[in-house]
Amino acid sequence: MDGISCDRCGKGLLIDEEVRYQVHIVVQAAYDPMEITREDLEKSGHFDWKTLMESLSQLTEEEAQDQIHRELRFDLCPPCQKLYLTTPLPGLTEGR
Ligand SMILES: [Zn+2]
């Protein structure tokens, strides 16, 4: 993340490599406001704000933030960039 070394293998980027790659990952909660209508809210009756706020307050500020939005940045050397692209999500073997 310092732009000086590869975050995966630790190799120096500026000295050893002409090219470096930046990986910017954004993980955010996806809400679709169109799916919740006023009718739905009224039908569901009592949405329990108190319980929600209590459950959120038991998280640290960082945990609460991570549930909504998280950004990760990595610097990669070319070999690690190739490897990363073959498996951007560990455990996910298809979908490219
Ligand atoms: Zn590397």
Query: Tens place of pLDDT for every residue, the chain, 96 residues?
Result: 677 899 999 998 877 667 889 999 999 888 766 666 767 767 666 667 777 777 767 778 778 777 788 899 999 999 999 999 998 888 876 554
* pLDDT the model gives residue 25: 93
Count of domains forming the chain: 1
On whether residue 19 sits in a domain, the answer given is no
What pLDDT sits at residue 59? 78
Quote the ligand 1 centre to 10 CA distance (angstroms): 6
Residue 59 placed within a domain: yes
Domain span at residue 62 reads 36-69
> According to the model, what pLDDT value does residue 17 have?
65
Per the CB < 8 A criterion, the answer to whether 68 and 28 are in contact is: yes
Ion ligand 1 nearby residues (CB, 5 A): 6, 8-9, 11, 77, 80
Specify the pLDDT at position 44.
65
Q: Is residue 53 part of a domain?
A: yes
Tell if the pTM clears 0.85, that is, is over it. no
Assigned domain for 31 exists: no
- Name the residue type at position 70: R
Q: What letters, b where the CB count within 10 A reaches 16 and e where it falls short, cover 21-56?
A: bebeeeeeeeeeeeeeeeeeeeeeeeeeeeeeeeee
| 29 located within any domain | no
